[in-house]
Structure 1
Amino acid sequence: MSLLRRRFSPPVVVAPGSLLGEAVGVHVRLGGREVLRGVDVGVRGGEVLALVGPNGAGKSTLLAALAADLAPAQGVVRIHGRPATEWSAAELALRRAVLPQAAVLSFPFAVEDVVRMGRAPHSSSADEDDLAVAQAMAATDVSDFATRPFSALSGGERARVALARVLAQRAPLLLLDEPTAALDLRHQELVLRVCRERAEEGDAVVVVLHDLGLAAAYADRVAVLRKGGVVADGAPGDVFDEQLLSEVYEHPVEVIPHPRHSGLLVTPKRNL
């Protein structure tokens, strides 16, 4: 299926380590409630930043603000060093790609066509688009059902196809909201490996996670949110403190050195 699209100029090449997404003093109000309270956070090319915290802490709201999908009441969001409001929608689409929590389509598009939607902002050749789509589908393990209708897929399969669309977009800033929520263990690991690979290629990745073990294993930095604020921001080894996490989650948490490498195991304390 051929998808109609406009053509736009490609973005400038970003320098390694550039600050690609930044929130400065961001306040967001939704339904009369202040959901984010003066948040400062940034992500550079070459790193994976995990946003963690309990339900209602403001993780998805912060991701939406960083994506310029949600305007702050106060503060500023910058994308590639410029205020997000100064980019057009077409320019933003070349610079950041967003994976929402739920992937919903009203029409029975085939999986490959859904992934190809990620190429819409680009002025690349058909061969370049085909390669980007094929690589994104292979990376997310969805190539085997390329011709199936998106609507006929399981929740986990839909989540991986939605991620493939984001990867095919090839924007330098990836903003992923709970990409592992509907996935089995194997595909959770696959998705986080893809995040690491994109960071190693110079992209900046912001990912909302509930699994602290995944965050400890794959993130370069972790921002811990609680009640609309960032209470800690740093490397997992510095941020994942038993007392801090127990207070944030209001449940006892254990942080244990991994027995076979320098990583951490993060798990709730259980009285069984």
Structure 2
Amino acid sequence: MGVKRRRQVPARPEPGAELLTAAGLHLAVGGRELLSGVDLVVRAGEVLALLGPNGAGKSTLLSVLAGDVPPSSGTVLLGGRPLGDHRPAELALHRALLPQSAALSFPFPAGEVVRMGRAPWAGTAAEAEDDEAVAAALAATDSTAFVDRPFTALSGGERARVALARVLAQRTALLLLDEPTAALDLRHQELVLQVARDRARAGDAVVVVLHDLSLAAAYADRIVLLADGRTVADGPVAEVLDAPLLSRVYAHPVEVFPHPGTGTPLVVPAR
């Protein structure tokens, strides 16, 4: 009987390395074009926020970048290789996806749900980190207190935090987060974005879909602004969060002010 070889653990990326690149992405569904020629680069060590109004294509783009939805045309490279060349098990070692909703019909304890994030590492040297990774992810999301409670018995905000903990426990170099703050109170919105900031500071790349423009301004390094499936702007926070541009994209007048303490842009609707 042969000896089963252990799978290799991916090397950590160099700071600033291009982890993922997308070029000319188009996606049409039912005759409607959801993405129209989107280009994107995601680098290690940054938080990249995807912004735009409802229907702009943010979640669709995230699904294409994750490899869950193939584009009609265009390319996505993960680590310099076409996304489609990665087997699902291999893909899970490189990127973790937090979808908008965390659907789970079985009453698994919250701690076991988080441990599911460690499944891709079974059979690798990193398997030895499972307990520590789960505990750290629960602590980072302020979820340790309900580790033994059924996931189905948690509130919407608690479920959202456990779902994020599962993604964090996966410990990939690329995190794709779809509206991770949507169900959360103010304190936990800040906590989640600080976790994203910390992961980027540690060398990972975080792509996050947000609706709160001021949260994006406070925590993102770069913003991609989408409208009607197209990239309207891609650049530093202060450059993209421009009042005339945002007013046009969101079809509502907005004002942008510098925070009196930090200078970070604050975006508010004009009333």
Which position in structure 2 is the counterpart of 1:214? 215
Shift >2 Å, 4+ stretches: 123-127
Counterparts of residues 90-105 of structure 1 (less than 5 Å): 90-105=89-104
- Corresponding residue number in structure 2 for 1:17: 16
Paired residue secondary structure (1:179) = coil
Question: TM-score w.r.t. structure 2 length?
Answer: 0.95
Shift of 1:23: 1.3
SS of the residue corresponding to residue 213 of structure 1 reads helix
CA-based RMSD of the aligned residues comes to 1.1
Q: Aligned partners of 1:29, 1:12: CA distance in 2, in Å?
A: 35
What percent of counterpart residues are identical? 64
For the 8 Å contact 1:43–1:204, the answer to whether it is kept is yes
Q: How much has 1:17 moved relative to structure 2? A: 1.3
CA 1:107–1:181: 2 relative to 1, 3 Å: same
Q: How many residues align?
A: 264
Distance 2:16 2:104 in 1: 35
Q: Distance in 2 between matches of 1:201 and 1:98?
A: 18
Q: Deviations over 1:48-84 (max 9, x none)?
A: 0000000000000000011011101110011122110
- Deviation, 1:125, is 6.2
| 1:167-178 → structure 2 map (5 Å cutoff) | 167-178=168-179
Task: Say whether residues 1:250 and 2:251 are aligned partners.
Answer: yes
Q: Measured at CA, do residues 125 and 224 of structure 1 come closer, stay the same or move farther in structure 2, by a change above 3 Å?
A: closer
CA distance in 2, matches of 1:202, 1:226: 30
- Contact residue 8 and residue 121 of structure 1 kept, 8 A: no
Deviation at 1:106, TM superposition (A): 2.0
The equivalent residue for 1:82 is 81
Q: Is the 8 A contact 2:95 2:174 kept in 1?
A: yes
Which SS does the other structure have where 1:191 is aligned? helix
Pick which of 115-124 and 179-188 moved more: 115-124
Query: What's the CA shift string for 1:14-46, capped at 9, x where partnerless?
Result: 222111122100001122211000000111000
Deviations 1:137-167 (A, max 9, x none): 0000000010000000000000000000000
1:265 aligns to what?
Answer: 266
Amino acid at match of 1:252: P
Mapped pair 1:179 → 2:180: yes
TM-score (norm 1): 0.95
Gaps of 5+ in 1: 1-6
Aligned to 1:228: 229
What 5-or-longer segments of structure 2 have no aligned partner? 1-5
Distance 2:17 2:210 in 1: 24
In the alignment, the residues of structure 2 paired with residue 225 and residue 200 of structure 1 have an alpha-carbon distance, to the nearest angstrom, of: 26
Counterpart position of 1:195: 196
User: How is 1:143-154 mapped onto 2 (pairs within 5 angstroms)?
Assistant: 143-154=144-155
Instruction: Quickly say closer, same or farther: Cα 1:125–1:56, change in 2 above 3 A.
Output: closer
Q: Quote the Cα distance in structure 1 between the aligned partners of 2:92 and 2:126.
A: 18
Report SS of the residue matched to 1:254.
strand
Match of 2:140 in 1: 139
Matches of 2:240 and 2:135 in 1, distance apart? 38
| Secondary structure, counterpart of 2:97 in structure 1 | strand
CA gap of 1:114–1:257, structure 2 versus 1, over 3 A, is same
